[in-house]
Amino acid sequence: MRVRPLLVPFVIASLLAVASAQQQKQIAYPQRDVLSPFRSPGDVYAPPDALYNLLRRMRSIAEDPATKKDFDTEGREIADQESWQEAKKEVDRIGLDAGYLAQIMRLSKNTADRATAFYAAFYCKRPDYVINLISHIPGEPERKTREAAFPRAIAYLRAHLKRRFGELSDDEKKTLTSSLPEPGSPAAKAAGIVRKPQDADYLNPTAQWLIPFFQLLDLDDPLDQAQGLWFLKEVFLLRLDLALVWLEPALPRVRELIGSGNEKVREQAIGLLAAIGPADLPRPKVDAESTELQAFAERAARALFPPIRNLNDAIVQLHPSPERDAIVVEGKKALENSSIGDPMSGKTKDGMPFRGLRIAHVPDKLKALAIPKDAVITTVNGVAVQDAPSLLRVVKAQIETLKHPRVLLVEYVFEGGTHAVEYRLM
């Protein structure tokens, strides 16, 4: 059958549309909950009249374009108007219940009441309560309310996200420490607390509250994607360690979005990647070719997430990459010709006998494995090692039988002490 020329563009466009619809998104955090975009609140709530009337007045004044506004040292928006300030004093006197505000945000079907709750959130006294309420922003179904909350949230986080335990007064430290479960207790283990706070610790060390913002990237609306990218970029400019913990699963999606047909999305994706990349990495133009954008994304991601990661000389992650392939080739070669070392027996400082392979020479390509020169490798995953051929056999057997991600625990003796390094083949 002959297709008429006028139908050819239509047929091609239809096929491309089907292919695009069938293409799977790279979703980093697929588990949805009440914080994920977007909720469908349907309950009837009756907020406390006296308090809510004050909050409505404050919000109304703040939303007036003629009102002069700024942010105080605590990152809270303040209005330069006497009636707003009087209402704020009365709100402080009555007090805000963060839990009640969260209920209104999640459940109330009244759009105006939810907007007022989001406005009020930043005037709660405790920063951890405010940050918890910030996590509700992506799930708010009303775009106008979300967009009003985004800049207020970033202003607040700029004032609080970088604060450390050592900045607190002695009384504040005692109050915070007394509210935490005792290390070693079941409650502490459930919360991931293994020790008491130290001065260098961030007051907000974890950021699971970022997940709903990552989930904005999964939506189809370019405006939602751009806003999610912008928010995450601003957070990572404040705390790069949060990107190190949470961003990697979302990088494939960010790389998809840097190739978006929407200029705003590309611009924000470039901004996010620039925030995690090296300072001297040239920033591409928004209308750059796809190959240039993807090369930029690759270099930015590798700066924070190199394929070979020595986390602390006790854990080494090896991700699929040419670098990992080079380590495998060099390690196999060194073990096959026994050039890396020789068998050795001895006793530890505690008098325990050991036998294994002494590392006499560490090739440059193997230094990333964090085994020092003169270390004596004794076991791999509990299997004894005597020399180079046995080490090669044991490693090969373990890799062939382990499930992904494969983990090799290498024990060794160094300067009379026993040590171990864990290799995670991702």
Instruction: State whether 298 and 396 are in the same domain.
Output: no
Write the pLDDT tens digit of every residue in 129-138. Answer: 999 999 999 9
Mean pLDDT of the chain: 89
Does residue 17 surpass a pLDDT of 70? no
Does residue 7 surpass a pLDDT of 70? no
| Distance in angstroms (rounded) separating the CA atoms of residues 407 and 422 | 7
* Pair 215, 36: CB distance under 8 Å: yes
Domain containing 163 — which CATH number?
A: 1.25.10
Write the pLDDT tens digit of every residue in 192-203. Answer: 676 788 887 787
In a domain, 19, yes or no: no
Per-residue pLDDT at 347 = 93
In a domain, 40, yes or no: no
Does residue 1 surpass a pLDDT of 50? no
Between 227-241, 306-320, 363-377, the lowest mean confidence (pLDDT) is in 306-320
Instruction: State whether 317 and 295 are in the same domain.
Output: no
**pLDDT-based confidence at residue 109 (cuts at 50, 70, 90):** very high
Contacts 24+ apart (CB under 8 A), 366-370: 366/327, 366/330, 366/331, 366/334, 366/340, 368/308, 368/310, 368/316, 368/323, 368/327, 369/316, 369/327, 369/331, 369/421, 369/423, 370/310, 370/313, 370/314, 370/316, 370/421
The percentage of the chain sitting over the pLDDT mark of 70, rounded to a whole number, equals 93
Rama region for 158: left / alpha / beta (φ>0; ψ in -120 to 50; rest): alpha
Per-residue pLDDT at 263 = 97
Domain boundary among 304, 328, 360: 304
Taking residues 68-93, report their average pLDDT.
96
- Residue with the bigger pLDDT between 5 and 101: it is 101
| Distance in angstroms (rounded) separating the CA atoms of residues 92 and 54 | 11
Structure tokens at 304: 């924070």
Nearest 5°: CA angle at 77, between 83 and 236?
175
Grouping H, G, I as helix, E, B as strand and the rest as coil, residue 260 is: coil
Taking residues 9-26, report their average pLDDT.
50
What are the residues whose beta carbons fall under 8 Å from the beta carbon of 140, sequence distance 6 or more?
A: 38, 39, 105, 114, 118, 146, 149
| Distance in angstroms (rounded) separating the CA atoms of residues 313 and 83 | 59
Measure Cα distances from 88 to 31, 53, 77, 287 in Å. 38, 11, 11, 46
Continuous segment of H or E residues that includes residue 292: helix 290-304
Instruction: State whether 277 and 317 are in the same domain.
Output: no
The sign of the CA dihedral 265, 269, 272, 278 is negative
Taking residues 256-279, report their average pLDDT.
97
Pair type for strands 69-71 and 77-79: antiparallel
Preceding omega of 405 cis (within 30 degrees of 0): yes
Grouping H, G, I as helix, E, B as strand and the rest as coil, residue 38 is: coil
Instruction: State whether 150 and 263 are in the same domain.
Output: yes
Does residue 2 surpass a pLDDT of 70? no
In a domain, 372, yes or no: yes
Domain boundary among 244, 273, 304: 304
Of 109, 25, 114, 119, nearest in space to 63 by CA: 119
Domain boundary among 247, 282, 304: 304
Does residue 233 surpass a pLDDT of 50? yes
In a domain, 22, yes or no: no
Write the pLDDT tens digit of every residue in 342-354. Answer: 999 999 999 999 9
* Pair 131, 157: CB distance under 8 Å: yes
Instruction: State whether 336 and 232 are in the same domain.
Output: no
Of 255, 266, 198, nearest in space to 226 by CA: 266
In a domain, 290, yes or no: yes
Q: pTM of this prediction?
A: 0.77
Per-residue pLDDT at 69 = 95
Taking residues 6-19, report their average pLDDT.
43
- Residue with the bigger pLDDT between 424 and 426: it is 424
For helices 263-276 and 290-304, give the axis angle rounded to 10 degrees.
30
Alpha helical stretches, state H, 141-262:
143-160, 170-178, 186-191, 211-215, 222-238, 240-246, 251-257
In a domain, 354, yes or no: yes
Per-residue pLDDT at 12 = 41
Does residue 231 surpass a pLDDT of 60? yes
- No. of helices (H) and no. of strands (E), the chain: 17, 10
Per-residue pLDDT at 23 = 57
How many domains does the chain contain in total?
A: 2
Does residue 204 surpass a pLDDT of 80? no
Domain that includes residue 345, residue range: 309-425
Pair type for strands 77-79 and 308-310: unpaired
What are the residues whose beta carbons fall under 8 Å from the beta carbon of 18, sequence distance 6 or more?
A: none
Instruction: State whether 211 and 314 are in the same domain.
Output: no
Instruction: State whether 348 and 298 are in the same domain.
Output: no
The sign of the CA dihedral 156, 162, 167, 170 is positive
Does residue 6 surpass a pLDDT of 80? no
Instruction: State whether 129 and 148 are in the same domain.
Output: yes
Domain containing 380 — which CATH number?
A: 2.30.42.10
In a domain, 350, yes or no: yes
Pair type for strands 315-318 and 417-425: parallel
Q: How many CB atoms lie within 10 A of CB 192?
A: 8
* Pair 321, 308: CB distance under 8 Å: yes
Alpha helical stretches, state H, 64-197:
82-94, 98-107, 111-121, 127-134, 143-160, 170-178, 186-191
